Structure 1
Amino acid sequence: MAFSAATPTASPSTTHALNASSFRFEAKFSLSCLFPVSSLRISSPHLASRCRPPASVSQRGKSAHIGFWACSQVGATGSNPLLKNLYNFQDSCWRFLRPHTIRGTALGSVALVVRALIENPALIDWWLIFKALYGLIALICGNGYIVGINQIYDVGIDKVNKPYLPIAAGDLSVQSAWLLVLFFASAGLLIVAFNFGPFISSLYCLGLLLGTLYSVPPFRLKRYPVAAFLIIATVRGFLLNFGVYYATRAALGLSFNWSSPVSFITAFVTLFALVIAITKDLPDVEGDRQFQISTFATKLGVRNIALLGIGLLLANYASAIFVALFMPQAFRRSVMISAHGIFALGLILQAWVLEQAKYTKDAILQFYRFIWNLFYAEYLIFPLI
């Protein structure tokens, strides 16, 4: 009883004031956690998209989940500005490299090296893995130079067609972009010169030169449709496949000799690169017309060029099946026929989806991504054919 009497008791008015104060504090804290994104100034749409809560959040308990997510994001980025700046720069560099082109380059080079080793298993030296890695790094550097120099001179067009690219979005300065492309070119040239000899070095320089002529004034050959797609087909088709296979055989101590599978993949991918070259402009018609860039898509129309690309790829797949049927001694017929038949059916289905969507920009982008996926798939099956 004495303890109870000594314990202070709050009056109703005091209790109400404390509860109100507590509510104001909790509400202020909750709101600051729930809606921190609105107070952040995020210049890049790409980064701003990362500040949205996950779309998979269910309606039940949504507020609590978003509040926790937002608070963790603010804590992660605001606690260390240096780490935040490094992350943003890394993200910009990765987008600057155009990852979908890197995947094609990496898959192509790995597939050709594996094929050369399969053809000559007795000559495999595991120390050559390091040389292969040097070659892959050099190819990625060359790829980075070509796509980077194109972005530097296409800032105005990219602000219309590809506003998510780092220079167009304002996430990477032109000066930083120049430093990156000069680094890529010099690093790639040094790696090739010290590891692969004069012939491969000359092929590498040719690739860089063609990439420069494609983008840089006064040449800017991308303005001319035929020259543009011939450059892309040459670099991504012939030079990559021939150069990697030649370098691999040289590293194994062998003279160059075309094998049937390598001849096939070089011809197949060169035509495929031609299709990529003519369809890559399909989503960019608006900006190309605004900046007076002449492409097949601006001249002949999006639908016609899409159908042309589909027709060329179907012819490519038909030729692969034909080769497998009439040269069974050179290829694994079961793999060649079944894989290319499946790819062709997938392409036909995607063409139907594009037609049903009336060639909207989103549908065209999905179609273009599908073409790249088919490109990757060809290299994935190449060691098995």
Structure 2
Amino acid sequence: MFQYMVPFFFTFQFIVGVNQVCDIEIDMINKPDLPLATGEYSFTFGVILVALFLLTSLGLAWMVGSKPLIWSIIVAAGLMAVYSINLPLLRWKRSAILSVLSNAMSMMASFHMGPFLHMKTFVLKKAATFPRSMLLSCFVVGCLYTVISISKDLADVEGDKAAGLKTLAIRLGVKRVFWLCISLIQMAYGIAITMGALSPVLWSKIVTVLTHVIMVLYVWNHAVNSVDLSSKDSLQSFHMFMFKLVTVECVLVLFVR
């Protein structure tokens, strides 16, 4: 597992870094405390740093020799590069649909398909079969990653407008997009409850249904009582809250049979 995690540590530094290198003017408005936005790091130093991160991750993956690891890095880093870099046919963040797709697919490759195939085929030397738990995980977590991709723009409307971006939050408004996010989360949990109820294993049926019912109620309570749609800090906190839901789902999926 560390053979997968260590190269991806550097991949994530590239993913975060390339977005900051390409968004200095936007970050001066939305996130003025970032090192490139404040001028603490120069643009040239930022480019060199993110390039070194990418080369390091690919070099380590090549040393490990795992094809799923190498391809996961290429897919994740490639998608976030075309999302961020301002060149013809690139800069996918200008499109609401391409922005969501690139972010969600990058996270799915990084956190789920990549490590699963690495452990299954490279470490355990088994065929790449996909059990019921993996299929449910891909669907539910895929929905959560879609929400993460959408919700990250809720607190950045001011800077995105200045940059001419057309995010969903700008097109539809913060309130509509927020409740769209909540609806997607509840839909994902609804599918998990349905699949749990259809499980042939009694203990898995009980655990899967009960835990996801609790998650439905918990998310609804959080949305109604803990999120202030007029506060950038509260919207940013909601975005980070989504990663907690992903973490919980990664634990719950272990009980799916």
Note whether the superposition's TM-score is higher than 0.5.
Answer: yes
> Is the aligned partner of 1:210 residue 2:82?
no
Question: TM-score under structure 1 normalisation?
Answer: 0.62
What amino acid is the match of 2:103? I
Contact 1:233 1:270 in 2 (8 A): yes
Off by >6 Å, runs of 4+ in structure 1: none
Contact 2:7 2:56 in 1 (8 A): yes
Deviation of 1:255 after TM superposition, in Å, equals 1.4
Q: How is 1:1-385 mapped onto 2 (pairs within 5 angstroms)? A: 132-218=1-87, 219-238=90-109, 240-250=111-121, 251-329=123-201, 332-353=204-225, 357-385=228-256
CA separation of 1:280 and 1:374: change in aligned 2, threshold 3 A: same
Per-residue deviation, residues 83-117 of structure 1 (Å, max 9, x unmatched): xxxxxxxxxxxxxxxxxxxxxxxxxxxxxxxxxxx
Per-residue deviation, residues 232-280 of structure 1 (Å, max 9, x unmatched): 1111124531121111012112111101111111121111111111111
CA separation of 1:175 and 1:315: change in aligned 2, threshold 3 A: same
Gaps of 5+ in 1: 1-131
Contact 1:237 1:267 in 2 (8 A): no
CA distance in structure 2 between the aligned counterparts of 1:266 and 1:198, rounded to whole angstroms: 20
Deviation of 1:216 after TM superposition, in Å, equals 0.5
CA separation of 1:348 and 1:254: change in aligned 2, threshold 3 A: same
Contact 1:261 1:330 in 2 (8 A): no
Per-residue deviation, residues 27-70 of structure 1 (Å, max 9, x unmatched): xxxxxxxxxxxxxxxxxxxxxxxxxxxxxxxxxxxxxxxxxxxx
Match of 1:217, SS state, is coil
CA distance in structure 2 between the aligned counterparts of 1:237 and 1:295, rounded to whole angstroms: 21
Question: TM-score under structure 2 normalisation?
Answer: 0.91
Contact 1:324 1:331 in 2 (8 A): no
Deviation of 1:333 after TM superposition, in Å, equals 2.3
Deviation of 1:379 after TM superposition, in Å, equals 1.8
- Paired-residue identity, %: 26
What amino acid is the match of 2:97? V
CA distance in structure 2 between the aligned counterparts of 1:233 and 1:323, rounded to whole angstroms: 22
CA distance in structure 1 between the aligned counterparts of 2:220 and 2:26, rounded to whole angstroms: 31
Superposed CA RMSD in Å reads 1.9
Deviation of 1:199 after TM superposition, in Å, equals 5.0
Deviation of 1:378 after TM superposition, in Å, equals 1.5
Greater relative contact order (CA < 8 Å, ≥ 6 in sequence) = 2
CA distance in structure 1 between the aligned counterparts of 2:131 and 2:155, rounded to whole angstroms: 38
